[in-house]
Amino acid sequence: MIKLGVNIDHVATLRQARYVDMPDAPNVEPDILAAASACERAGAQGITVHLRADRRHIRDRDVFRLRRSVITKLNLEMGNTPEILETALQVLPDDVCLVPENRKEVTTEGGLDVVRNANALRRTVERLHAGGIRVSMFIEPAPEQIDACAGLGADAVELHTGRFANVMPEFRVDEVARLETAARYASEKGLVVNAGHGLNYANVRLLLPIPYWNEFNIGHSIVSRSIFIGLESAVREMLQLLAPPS
């Protein structure tokens, strides 16, 4: 069965809409720890958060508190910056996924260019590994990027599914084929293969026949669904979609 990592960034986005200047106030809501706990109770196999340089949603305190609370797996998404790297080495999440980061973007746009940034990434990967942290790279489904990840000693790749999610339906078959080719190649290179970005309750079904997936990281769609049915139910619905037919 494909594992589900739930990205709870947008729970923090809702919190920051009112409590941006008082994150420690006693009445702050929603509580990021309560959200993570609900996801785990529902059966999620991991919790993902992105500690951005601008701290627009997840804050440093959130990550430290989650590290003490999460009982499945904590996956920290981060840009390759010295400040965030030092935080990661203090927190010691189970996994780090290195992502590109643009201050003007609403959410992560596109994959990390590992080929172009290999020299800058090498020391980061080495330091994370020295801390006992598994390292993934959020990349476009392209063989040259997969080769670069393998060359740096990454443990996993997370294939960016944004183009698949946003393409017109008549071109979606081509995108599924592109993802399957990349997933197969990454698996042959010995990399764990994850996927994420723009996946939802409708389009995720199209990726299930690909046999190489380890984990999907899904956030916005689950948090959006939770407004109407609750977070635990939203996570369970997604897990039911990911479950192999009985």
Q: What is the pLDDT of residue 23?
A: 59
* Measured distance CA(91)–CA(73) in Å, rounded: 13
Structure tokens at 8: 């709870």
Helix H segments across the chain?
A: 9-19, 32-41, 60-69, 82-91, 118-130, 143-151, 162-166, 172-188, 220-229, 231-242
- The structure tokens listed for 94 are 């189970």
Catalytic residue among 77, 140, 158, 215: 77
Segment 229-237 shows an average pLDDT of 98
Domain that holds residue 28: 3-242
CATH of the domain at 28: 3.20.20.70
Give the chain's domain count.
Answer: 1
At 110 the pLDDT is 78
pLDDT of residue 28: 87
The proportion of the chain whose per-residue pLDDT surpasses 90, expressed as a percent, equals: 87
Q: Average pLDDT of 142-154?
A: 98
pLDDT computed for residue 168 by the predictor: 83
Strands 46-50 and 3-7: parallel
Which one of 50, 57, 160, 175 is the catalytic residue?
A: 50
State how far the Cα of 184 lies from the Cα of 191, in Å rounded to an integer: 10
Is a pLDDT exceeding 70 seen at residue 109?
Answer: no
- How far is the first Cα of the chain from the last one, in angstroms, to the nearest whole number? 11
Cis peptide before 209 (omega within 30 of 0): no
Give the three-state DSSP class for 207: helix
Mean pLDDT, rounded, for 150-158: 98
Asked about 220 being catalytic, the answer comes back as no
Concerning whether 57 is annotated as a catalytic residue, the answer is no
Q: Distance between CA 176 and CA 179 in Å, rounded?
A: 5
What is the reported pLDDT for 170?
A: 82
Known active-site residue 50: yes
Phi-psi domain of 206 (left: phi exceeds 0; alpha: psi -120 through 50; beta: other) = alpha
By the 8 A CB rule, do 160 and 138 touch? yes
Q: Tell me the pLDDT of the chain averaged across its residues.
A: 94
Q: What is the pLDDT of residues 14-49, one digit of tens each?
A: 999 988 776 566 788 999 999 999 999 999 999 999
- 140, 158, 197, 215: the active-site residue: 197
